[in-house]
Amino acid sequence: MIGNFPEFTPINLDNRDSYDDAVSNHPAYSNLSFPSMQIWNNFDGTLAAARHNDNLVIDYSVPLDEENSGLSVIGTSDVDNSLNTVFDHLRTTGQEPKIVHVPEFVVSNITDADMFEIVEEPDYNEYILDSQALATLEGPDFGRIRRKVGKFHREIDGYEIQVGAIDMSSDPAKAEVMEHVKRWVEAKDSGNDPDKTEFVALDRTLGLANELGMQGMELRLSGKLAGILLYHKPHDDSYIVNHLRVDYSHPFIFDYMTHAFAKIAVQNNIPRINFEMDLGIEGLRRHKVGLRPIEMFKQYLIKQKADSREVES
């Protein structure tokens, strides 16, 4: 069971059912999904949550990013009261009075928005894609991706293309994934992840694959591993993509992987794909915008206005 605020309970495999039940009626943000949180926000085992007004207060730890770490409020019940209670707690305990990564569905349930400074966190907005559209690539909006996929086919002419599932229960299969991802990253290091946090996250994903319900898609070119995509299904009819890595020596392979995965989603009657956030990485943002998202799951930073604190006191 998850304790009452300010008594926090660790969010781990032992209390997954309690956590999943608490978020099951909300949109399936990756940032709220239990597998995603274990992969990206629980490196040091400090991920925790508490209940307040039938809402959750989540203690987020963003690896090596103190500025974007902190408490968040998730829920729709008397949101103003929960926000003010958390602000009082933060000031009392000497912490910066800010609430991070607040989903849009929470913000829309704030009664008196004038009490707060509410600022969008564009780096943490999640891209929601149309599986059918990416699978068919029909129409002018998808002309650019369609051309890239066509160029990929021409570039690898003579290779046998094999798209299949990764056996996430197989240690040799998972070891092969890690070995190749490290090789691909070393060959094309963009400098966007100098501390190699994705390697840590990928290792966690593979190590907890069965417990977290992770699935994997692989692309092989004439038998050689050339791309991997790791994902999971949350409580709604979508897939959340947690890792996508490719051998960039094959031009346009990233676009092909996205297209191939959309086909799998359609085959499994999954209409939407959550491609997570871009973290402010410009190249990643351009690519994800080019996938023509049908919706953005927005997140916000909230602070109290000075005059609202005076009214409370």
Where do the domains of the chain lie?
9-125+298-312, 126-297
- Asked if pLDDT for residue 313 goes beyond 60, the answer is no
Q: How far apart are CA 54 and CA 77, in angstroms?
A: 6
Sign of CA pseudo-dihedral 169, 170, 171, 175: negative
Q: What amino acid occupies position 221?
A: L
3-state secondary structure of 253: helix
Crossing angle of helices 171-187 and 197-207, rounded to 10°: 170
CA distance 29 to 128: 10
pLDDT at 189 > cutoff 80 = no
Specify the fold of 126-297. Answer: Aminopeptidase (3.40.630)
190 has a pLDDT exceeding 80: no
pLDDT in tens, 91-134: 999 999 999 999 999 999 999 999 999 999 999 999 999 999 99
The hierarchical CATH code for the domain 9-125+298-312 is: 3.40.630.30
Q: Is the peptide bond before 271 cis (omega within 30 degrees of 0)?
A: no
- What is the share, in percent, of the chain residues with pLDDT greater than 90? 85
- Classify strands 295-297 and 272-274 as parallel, antiparallel or unpaired: unpaired
Residue 68 has pLDDT above 90, yes or no: no
Positive or negative torsion for Cα 23, 25, 31, 37: positive
Say if CB 41 and CB 197 are below 8 A apart. Answer: no
Q: pLDDT digits over 29-58, tens only?
A: 999 999 999 999 888 888 999 999 999 999
Domains 9-125+298-312 and 126-297 share a fold: yes
Cα 159 from Cα 166, distance rounded (Å) = 20
